[in-house]
Structure 1
Amino acid sequence: MKYLSKSSVTKLSYLVTGCAITVHKALGPGLLESVYEKCLLFELEKKGLHVLQQVPITINYEGNMIDSELKLDLLVEDTIIVELKAVQELLPVHSAQLLSYMKLLKKPQGLLFNFYSDNLTKSMKPFINEHFERLPVE
């Protein structure tokens, strides 16, 4: 399935968020980030979504492709970057990391989930960028 409109990306975002909530309700806070990542991957694939895990990020610097140590947690349908944390408090650096990944990979949306929270919905942060803004509404 192609996600080439604002509404289709938003719909996908709601589906991903629902899967994250399912995982959080089942496991609760207090586990390692890697556990939540594996369970969310399972949940997303169960919904029939194409998901890549621990995707390496190559940086185009002045026309040179440079390998980095950067890896994003999950890439859903080649459209939404999902970053998972299991920390007491999300810091600005966590948001900056996700926004940078979105820019480098030219993806329209990113979702930042903190599984340490008692309420995943209140602690999650969705992000969009200029790639989202360029998409048609329908």
Structure 2
Amino acid sequence: MGRHWGEDWGDNYPHRDITEAIILAAIRVQIVLGPGLLENAYKACLAHELRLAGHEALREVHLDITYKELCVANAYIMDIVVDHKVVVEAKAIAKFSDADFAQLNSCLHFANFEVGLLINFHNWPLKDGGIKRLVNTKP
């Protein structure tokens, strides 16, 4: 099971530099765009902001999973993958649900990533509960 941002990690968590750059980029995007847009607008602008900052930001990365020698193509689509190390799931919803955390946790597991971010652009300001970090404790 993944751990939430700050839980038992203090300042020592994987890819801290990248996650902090993503958070700063997300804050910039939210300040300019404000709340109320659809998720796709935020995702496009966040990926663009990350690229402007020198990061590789791939959008809609398809993830295949394997189940007992069966390959399930496109079992999940990751919103943004940053520098081939961090998965970002961007939302524009009233609040995060358990399903949001479960999906990101499964994605981290099957893609073998160490850390992922859930970002909710509907939450104003982002720093007040709109950003959650999950760390894959079962690589």
| Kept in 1: contact 2:14–2:115 (CA 8 A) | no
Of 120, 125, 131, which residue of structure 2 is paired with 1:124? 131
Structure 1 segments, 4+ long, off by >3 Å, are none
Q: State the Cα distance separating 1:28 from its structure 2 match.
A: 0.8
Partner of 2:64: 58
1:21 to 24, 27, 42: 27
Deviation, structure 1 residue 30: 0.4
Q: Is residue 2:79 matched to residue 1:73?
A: yes
**C-alpha distance in 2, partners of 1:10/1:126?**
10
**Preserved contact between residue 29 and residue 116 of structure 1 (Cα < 8 Å):** yes
Residue correspondences, number: 127
What's the CA shift for 1:8? 6.6
Name structure 2 gaps, 5 residues minimum: 1-11
Root-mean-square deviation (Å):
1.6
Is 2:35–2:122's contact at 8 Å kept on the other side of the alignment?
A: yes
Q: Which ranges of structure 1 fall in alignment gaps of 5 or more residues?
A: 1-5, 133-138
Match of 1:108 among 89, 111, 114: 114
2:3 corresponding residue in structure 1 = none
User: 1:107, 1:131 within 8 Å by CA — same for their partners in 2?
Assistant: no
Task: Give the whole-Å Cα distance in 2 for the aligned partners of 1:73 and 1:52.
Answer: 8
Q: Deviations over 1:70-109 (max 9, x none)?
A: 2110000110000000001111101111111000100010
More helix by percentage: 1
Pair 1:8–1:91, CA change in 2 (3 A): closer
**CA distance in 1 between partners of 2:60 and 2:127 (Å):** 23
% identical equivalent positions: 30
